[in-house]
Amino acid sequence: MTGPVLALNDARKSYGSNEALKGVSLDIAPGEIVGLLGPNGAGKSTLFQIASGLFAPDGGEVRLFGMSYSDRASDILKRLGVVFQSRSLDLDMSVRANLKFHGNLFGLSGEALKQRIDDAARLFEVTDLIDKPVRTLSGGNQRRIEIVRALLNDPGLLLMDEPSTGLDPTTRKLLGRHIRAVRDERNVSILWATHLVEEVEHADRIALIVAGRIIRTGTPAEIMAAAGTDNLTDAYIALTGTKPEVALAAE
């Protein structure tokens, strides 16, 4: 397709009197990696939940692949990959059993499913983990498996909400490398929500979100130019008025 894979137009969402999204517009092009960057409480998860169809916005429009959740939800979900913030693998099953179950939900089975699992596992360099129980995997490896799982239906758009939470810096870097490899090989679009500046350095475009508003979008170079700085951290401070948060490695 040539139009945007995700188009938010003036999307609004409130929790009671708390306006979490105050009219957000954002387009993601095919094959584009967009980093949604902002401090905690900025509205990233709310935007993510609207984009993944978990709830409808109070106002504005959300279209994925040119379709709306109100009448084409199942057609959208067939083409969407989602990685939620909280871990969601069954710890007592093997990696392969987790992946097979998810593939079956998408109507995949037999040799075709095995091929999908092998291809996605190769991209994420987790082939040697496939037959292990999930419980024995590190947090970083579980995250990689969750992304492999999200790729099984060969999505046109991959949504990831703070996928590196709790991971150490080396694993976080590896995640970034793998995500770019996926995009390069499959031309999948990616929305990566994060509060860490370093994670959007290699995005094609950054959307800066503060207090429910996207205050600026642009390539990393454009964001730095707009702030008159030569690095993204200073640009973030200048444009958002907040200090960047540092990663807490809990693994």
Would you tell me which residues interact with ligand ADP (CB under 6 A)? 15, 18, 20, 38, 40-46
Q: Which residue, 38 or 163, has its beta carbon nearer to ligand ADP? A: 38
Measure the CA–CA gap between 158 and 151, rounded to whole angstroms: 8
Q: At its nearest, how many Å lie between ligand ADP and the CB of residue 50?
A: 10
Strand partners for 94: 133
Query: Which is closer to ligand ADP, CB of 40 or CB of 88?
Result: 40
Instruction: Give the contacts of 153 (CB within 8 A, at least 6 positions apart).
Output: 78, 79, 80, 81, 103, 106, 108
Cβ-Cβ contacts under 8 Å for 203 (sequence gap 6 or more): 33, 34, 35, 192, 220
Tokens of 37: 């960057």
Please list, in sequence order, all residues whose beta carbon lies within 8 angstroms of the beta carbon of residue 118, skipping any fewer than 6 positions away: 127
- Maximum C-alpha span of the chain: 55
Nearest CB to ligand ADP, comparing residues 48 and 65: 48
In the complex with ligand ADP, the residue whose CB is nearer, 15 or 70, is: 15
Sheet of 59-64: strand order equals 18-28, 6-15, 59-64
Q: Where are the beta strands (DSSP E) in 16-57?
A: 18-28, 33-37
Of the candidates 64, 60, 81, which has an alpha carbon nearest to the alpha carbon of residue 73? 64
Which lies closer to ligand ADP via its Cβ, residue 31 or residue 41?
Answer: 41
The least distance separating ligand ADP from the CB of residue 161, rounded to whole angstroms, comes to 7
CB of 220 to ligand ADP, least distance (A): 20
Nearer to ligand ADP, 87 or 177 (CB): 87
State which residue, 44 or 63, has the beta carbon closest to ligand ADP: 44
Cβ at position 29, least distance to ligand ADP in Å: 23
Output phi, psi for 195, to 5 deg.
-105, 5
The DSSP letter of residue 67 is: B
| Nearest distance in Å: CB 45, ligand ADP | 3
Distance in angstroms (rounded) separating the CA atoms of residues 123 and 188: 13
Distance set, CA 173 to CA 44, 144, 192, 239, 245 (Å)? 21, 12, 14, 25, 17
The least distance separating ligand ADP from the CB of residue 22, rounded to whole angstroms, comes to 10
Min separation Cβ 75 and ligand ADP, Å: 26
